[in-house]
Amino acid sequence: MKIQIKNAHLITMDDGKIIENGCLCIENEKISYVGDQALPDEDFDRTINARGAIVMPGLVNAHTHTPMTLFRGYADDMTLNDWLFNRIFPAEDKLDTEAVYWGSLLACAEMIKSGTTLFADMYFMSESTIRAVLESGINANIARCVTGTNNDYKDRLYEAEVLYSEYDGANAGAVKIDFSAHAVYTCSKEALKAVAESAAKHNAAIHIHLSETMKENRDCYSQYGKSPTEVFRDMGIFNCPTNAAHCVFLSENDMEILAENNVGVSHNPISNLKLASGVANVNEMLAKNILIGVGTDGTASNNSLDIFAEMKTSAILQKGIRLDPTLIPARKALEMATATGAEILGRGAERGQLKKGMRADVIILERNAPNLIPVHNPESTVVYSANGANVQTTIINGKIVMENRELLTIDMDRVASGVKDAVKRMGI
């Protein structure tokens, strides 16, 4: 299918290039033209007249647990430990594959509606999440999360290997399978080592939680005499491309280890604030050239999947705690949520920018939304003024999956009743 989007205010994220009255063409799943020349409408199957609206790359959610939409609002205002061990883990024990499917499909709907076109997921019963991903048409890095402090990690790792062999590259590359070790406090050293070895054997990437709380660091020091970063490094995790979520409590040395090993960081400011975990030192990590994307984390600790909110929070939080309003300017926040997010998920060569030859993951914002006019600086408009509900149209791999706020691949009535039934069945 050939699509032309004309009269667009293009934010390309390609070397900061912005085209005020631009045109973007899509041929099948790829971008075929980005520039200021509109072409004859008859050369296309569809021409969308953006009439001056902002058109930009789809957003990247670098860390989430999609089925946790089922627990949205289920456990709020609690400490992470209490929240996780007394509320979330017992509820997760009641999940079945159908519930995971409905929770995942709900998350896909929410992400498409708020302009996210690629996400990194860490969970279990991942085949059900993949089913939702394939149905919705969204892009995802899916990881079957490994936990275990005895031999019980082995079955989980086996599932991860099966998932990799069956689904890596599915739907013409929309699905990428990663490996995952949940965290230093839920995995034994043997489990971490086994995950690293499996991922290396498959040339795959690894998704982890790293130094989310002070308690995690303290316990790790008393157990191993090392920081979580040092333990992950010593177990070989960083021999594979790694996406490390949170990184709230890193020492100078930890940051140097991440930089040396090209570990990408997914920054989840809203989840970290809500669970009162702390604030990651994004500014210092950026100074060490660590690549940082943004994530929402699961909806049980956020409680939304709106990456616009993460972008804004990422930018204003560093300014606020360092008393310096020049930190994390709008372009940097936008870059974290697009090009860099794609890069840390191993997708940077084909996603995250509006550029000829790249995959057509494109969003169109609402024209004339009261909160979006006037546009003095489109990057500021997106980061500081916009929210997910301003996304009018979402295109993923050249396919329109939402137009004028209407989901075209997901039936929301069906999702809502599936989610309600799942929650009822689980008795939560």
Q: Using the minimum distance from each CB to Zn ion, give the nearer residue, 92 or 297.
A: 297
Q: What is the 3-state secondary structure of the chain?
A: CEEEEEEEEEECCCCCCEEEEEEEEEECCEEEEEECCCCCHHHCCEEEECCCCEEEECEEEEEECHHHHHHCCCCCCCCHHHHHHHHHHHHHCCCCHHHHHHHHHHHHHHHHHCCEEEEEEEECCHHHHHHHHHHHCCEEEEEEEECECCCCHHHHHHHHHHHHHHHCCHHHHCEEEEEEECCCCCECHHHHHHHHHHHHHCCCCEEEEECCCHHHHHHHHHHHCCCHHHHHHHCCHHHCCEEEEECCCCCHHHHHHHHHCCCEEEECHHHHHHCCCCCCCHHHHHHCCCCEEECCCCHHHCCCCCHHHHHHHHHHHHHHHHCCCCCCCHHHHHHHHCHHHHHHCCCCCCCCCCCCCCECCEEEECCCCHHHCCCCCHHHHHHHHCCHHHEEEEEECCEEEEECCEECCCCHHHHHHHHHHHHHHHCC
Question: Which range binds Zn ion by CB under 5 A, 87-95, 106-114, 281-289, 291-299?
Answer: 291-299
Find the part of the chain contacting Zn ion (CB under 5 A) among 48-56, 192-200, 295-303, 304-312.
Answer: 295-303
CB 245 → Zn ion: shortest distance, Å?
5
Stretch that binds Zn ion, among 146-154, 249-257, 289-297, 328-336 (CB under 5 A): 289-297
Q: Please state the closest distance from residue 368 (CB atom) to Zn ion, in A.
A: 37
Pick between residue 265 and residue 383 the one whose CB is nearest to Zn ion: 265
Rounded Cα–Cα distance for residues 316 and 324 (Å): 10
With respect to Zn ion, which residue has the nearer C-beta, 178 or 297? 297
Among 92, 297, 310, 366, which residue interacts with Zn ion (rule: CB under 5 A)?
297
| Least Å from the CB of residue 209 to Zn ion | 5
Contact range with Zn ion by CB under 5 A, out of 2-10, 100-108, 178-186, 292-300 = 292-300
Q: How far is the CB of 68 from Zn ion (least distance, A)?
A: 9
Query: In terms of CB distance, is 297 or 379 closer to Zn ion?
Result: 297
Number of residues in contact with Zn ion under rule CB under 5 A: 1
> Smallest distance from the beta carbon of 123 to Zn ion, in angstroms?
9
When the beta carbons of 57 and 67 are compared against Zn ion, the nearer one is 67
By C-beta, is 297 or 335 nearer to Zn ion?
Answer: 297
Nearer to Zn ion by C-beta: 210 or 362? 210
**Nearest residue to Zn ion on Cβ basis:** 297
Segment interacting with Zn ion (CB under 5 A) among 11-19, 256-264, 297-305, 381-389: 297-305
CB nearer Zn ion, residue 3 or residue 248 = 248
Find the shortest distance in angstroms from Cβ 243 to Zn ion. Answer: 11
- Applying CB under 5 A, which residues contact Zn ion? 297
